[in-house]
Structure 1
Amino acid sequence: MPNSPLVPTVRRRRLGASLRRFRNEAGMTLDAAAGAMAWRAPKLSKIEGATQSIRPVEVEALLTVYGVQDTRVKDALKALAQDAGKKGWWQTYSTIVSPAYADYISLETDADTICEWSPLVVPGLLQTAAYARETIAGVTTSRTPEEVVALAEVRMARQAVLSRPGTAPELWAIIHEAALHQRFPARPATMREQLRRLLGVSEMPNVTVQLMPLDSTPNPGVVGGFTVTAFPQPMPSVVLLENLSGATYVEGNDAAPFAKAFECIRVTALPVEDSLARIAELEESHRK
């Protein structure tokens, strides 16, 4: 029996898209490129479509065919090929972590910069365990209490990326102030603890937190939240959009408008020092 096609993980999609881009820039058809590798065109098509694996040594040979000489590019894509099928710690939670969520954790793990605009909730990388449990339980319509607890554990485990020695990503999080006025009747201390968490994590050298004030001027953020994950060159950025039906990814050139929008949102938000002062004011108000 023929082998079943591989699941197109986000790493394979990023690799396939990059190889397709370099092939197009070289002006080569699928047939020509595959022929230069002594392959059949369907094999290369599957690699570009992320349904077939490719070894790092084959990546280097293919890039040579395309005339790519930059060693940084070759090393980045070979590393992606090496890690394309690698299982992460989140596989332990495979029964509750959807493939789309697993893809995002993989992106988060590989990123060197994460820019998140969050108009409704505190970003997951900055949440306390109690806040995570309360918000997950509040938005879900089908999860059991046990699954809610497990999903909160996943969210907490993701935060380890911020303190990863040597390779921790830069996180720039912009939160709408309205999200910090949310009430938790069953556990009133939740928001106070969350505000303290924001003040604490903002002291990390790779974390920047800004607030969008309640009286802000119109800006691209009114359309909705998004997260831009950026990677070392030559890998393009990937944007995450979330809604009740799950996650949607915007990749390649289509991600560029979101980076521009984030810059507009950043300029509209309170300066960092003013943002932290406002968070401190809110935290103090919860103690009265």
Structure 2
Amino acid sequence: MLLRRRREEVGLTLEEVARHLECHKATISRLELGRSGLRARDLRQLLELYGVTDEERVESYVEMSRQGRKSGWWERHASGLRPAYTDFIALEAEAVGMRSYQPLLIPGLLQTPAYARCIIAAHPAVVSEEELERRVEVRLGRQALLAGGGSLTFRAVIGEAALRSGVGGESVMRAQVEHLLEVADRPNVDVQVLPLGVGEHPGGSGPFVIFTFPLPEESHVVCEEGLLTSVYLDSVDEVRAYASAFDALCAAALSPRVSCDMLAELVLGLK
């Protein structure tokens, strides 16, 4: 709460502070509530913004943060990741539920290593083999959230086009579809396929993810995923609109059981 008090004393809003750190305002809110770890570098930036310049006071804040924080596993990669992506991973790690709509790709939490490597290698921001391997490692590390019927509930609506793409060739896609069948059998995962011929639906704006937290509705966040950046939305009306759109997508998609039947047929067709 000390950080919130300092922010309010200098008259700054969450949005203004988030712009300064190039992150989402929900991240700043969780930092103030002690629900997210804060790197010393970012804390020093915040304190400078809040007018705290005395080095002894700064060090006392840093020490309190060091004692109270729980480091995220992804932080060793943070220097090579976009701030928006580290925000996404932090949100994912804290969420109790995620609803993902992906019309053209398999969601990151459900990707095989081979599929993930192909998708990441095609990204224009990946410029070296070292960076490719780091990003693949991060993506696979995120998947621990779903292992062993973990605490995260994940619901995915995947466009049929994603399943029929030629990513990596037939062997990669066969292994990927088989993996979808495996994870769809977990109690905390639901997979639904949105058929190509479904007609008009509310997912035309592109992929999005809804993060749900064990807090009031005001804390939930929507991420609209883009090629080089992402947009985060967290007003109650925005989250409700996307939740309604996701419900409509689920209604238009095949049921989880029928979706699994379709995935099984696709596996046979790829052999």
Asked if 1:42 corresponds to 2:9, the answer is: yes
Asked if 1:134 corresponds to 2:118, the answer is: yes
Asked if 1:116 corresponds to 2:100, the answer is: yes
Shift in CA distance, 78/248, structure 1 to aligned 2, threshold 3 Å: closer
CA contact (8 A) 2:160 2:194 kept: yes
CA contact (8 A) 1:90 1:97 kept: no
TM-score normalised by L of structure 1: 0.72
CA contact (8 A) 2:222 2:239 kept: yes
Asked if 1:180 corresponds to 2:163, the answer is: yes
Match of 1:277 among 257, 261, 266: 261
**Equivalence map 1:79-94=2 (5 Å):** 80-85=33-38, 86=69, 87-94=71-78
Q: Which runs of 5+ in 1 are unaligned?
A: 1-11, 17-33, 53-75
**2:158 and 2:164 mapped to 1: Cα distance?**
12
**1:261 and 1:189 mapped to 2: Cα distance?**
34
Deviations along 1:202-228, one digit per CA (max 9) or x if unpaired, are 111000000001111311012211000
Match of 2:193 among 197, 211, 227: 211
**1:199 and 1:80 mapped to 2: Cα distance?**
39
Shift in CA distance, 141/83, structure 1 to aligned 2, threshold 3 Å: closer
Over the matched positions of the two proteins, sequence identity in percent amounts to: 34
Letter of the 2:232 partner, please give it. Y
Quote how far apart the aligned CAs of 1:138 are.
1.6
Aligned match of 1:160: 144
Shift in CA distance, 245/78, structure 1 to aligned 2, threshold 3 Å: closer
Give me the CA root mean square deviation.
Answer: 2.7
Q: Which runs of 5+ in 2 are unaligned?
A: 19-28, 39-68
Aligned match of 2:223: 240
Aligned match of 1:194: 176
Q: Per the alignment, in what secondary structure is the counterpart of residue 106 of structure 2?
A: coil
Letter of the 2:161 partner, please give it. A
Quote how far apart the aligned CAs of 1:242 are.
1.5
Quote how far apart the aligned CAs of 1:79 are.
9.2
Q: Per the alignment, in what secondary structure is the counterpart of residue 157 of structure 2?
A: strand
Shift in CA distance, 51/269, structure 1 to aligned 2, threshold 3 Å: same
Aligned match of 2:51: none
Aligned match of 1:57: none
Match of 2:79 among 92, 95, 100: 95
Shift in CA distance, 49/135, structure 1 to aligned 2, threshold 3 Å: closer
Q: Per the alignment, in what secondary structure is the counterpart of residue 222 of structure 1?
A: coil
Q: Per the alignment, in what secondary structure is the counterpart of residue 204 of structure 1?
A: coil
Quote how far apart the aligned CAs of 1:40 are.
9.0
**1:77 and 1:145 mapped to 2: Cα distance?**
34
From the CA coordinates, give the structure whose radius of gyration is larger.
1
Deviations along 1:152-195, one digit per CA (max 9) or x if unpaired, are 11000000011377x6210000100111111145x531100000
Quote how far apart the aligned CAs of 1:77 are.
7.2
Quote how far apart the aligned CAs of 1:48 are.
4.3
Q: Aligned residue pairs: how many?
A: 227
Asked if 1:170 corresponds to 2:153, the answer is: yes
**2:167 and 2:214 mapped to 1: Cα distance?**
40
Deviations along 1:101-124, one digit per CA (max 9) or x if unpaired, are 000101001111100000010000
Quote how far apart the aligned CAs of 1:200 are.
0.4
CA contact (8 A) 1:238 1:250 kept: yes
Letter of the 1:104 partner, please give it. F
Quote how far apart the aligned CAs of 1:96 are.
2.0
